[in-house]
């Protein structure tokens, strides 16, 4: 589920692209914190040259705001992974209402999903529930499991005071802070053999 400020039930908006100003329903679920609008705006400014046509994976999708923002801006496809069945259903409903047919939802734990048959992704959103501290484990599965294209981009959202341990070949491109949240974009380099 997306990290950041707690946003109760209600709606958040898509900030750019073909779905700009569309509203997403947000269910009232413990730990569900959609990525703040200001953070999404900064992130997608960074991603502007690469998101169009990209194959994307939104792990721990929560509301799916990051993946839907990518679809709005021309991503070829987004695979959403959300373990909470209620959150996944609201996400499916939002995709259907927006006619975002290039988005698919898997109701599954992110770690279990990554044990499946890999499909190399150009862009991954890694924003697990903060309390579970899954960044390092999921990052290793992404890197070692064949889920990343040769020069994939990976967005990581975490608590400001915490620096997750990530694969050494993930090179920091840009980072920022919003309140108690650190958000960072990494570029994958091929590991040295």
Cα 82 to Cα 152: distance, rounded to the nearest angstrom: 21
- The residues spanned by each domain of the chain are 10-150
pLDDT tens figures, 42-98:
999 999 999 999 999 999 999 999 999 999 999 999 999 999 999 999 999 999 999
CATH number of 10-150: 3.40.50.150
Of the listed ranges 154-163, 169-178, 184-193, the least confidently predicted one is: 184-193
pLDDT category at 167 given cuts 50, 70, 90 is very high
Prediction pTM value: 0.91
pLDDT tens figures, 99-153:
999 999 999 999 999 999 999 999 999 998 877 789 999 999 999 999 999 999 9
| Res 190: pLDDT | 76
What is the mean predicted confidence (pLDDT) over 157-164?
Answer: 89
What backbone torsions phi and psi does residue 56 show, to the nearest 5 degrees? -125, 150
Phi and psi based region of residue 60 (left: phi greater than 0; alpha: psi -120 to 50; beta: remaining): left
**How many residues in the chain?**
193
pLDDT over 60 at 3, yes or no: no
Cα 91 to Cα 61: distance, rounded to the nearest angstrom: 9
């Amino acid at each position: 589920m997306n990290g950041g400020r707690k946003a109760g039930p209600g709606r958040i908006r898509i900030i750019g692209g073909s779905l700009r100003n569309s509203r997403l329903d947000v269910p009232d679920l413990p730990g569900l914190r959609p990525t703040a609008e200001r953070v999404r705006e900064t992130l997608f400014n960074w991603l502007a040259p690469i998101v169009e046509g990209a194959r994307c994976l939104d792990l721990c999708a929560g509301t799916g705001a990051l993946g839907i923002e990518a679809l709005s801006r021309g991503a070829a496809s987004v695979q959403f992974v959300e373990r909470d069945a209620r959150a996944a259903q609201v996400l499916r409903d939002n995709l259907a209402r927006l006619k975002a047919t290039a988005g698919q939802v898997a109701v599954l734990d992110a770690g279990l999903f990554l044990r499946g048959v890999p499909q190399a992704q150009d862009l991954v959103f890694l924003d697990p529930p903060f309390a579970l501290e899954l960044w390092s484990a999921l990052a290793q599965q992404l890197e070692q499991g064949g889920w990343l294209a040769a020069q994939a981009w990976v967005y990581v959202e975490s608590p400001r005071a915490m620096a997750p341990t990530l694969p050494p070949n993930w090179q920091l491109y840009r980072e920022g802070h919003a309140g108690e949240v650190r958000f960072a974009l990494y570029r994958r380099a091929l590991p040295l053999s």
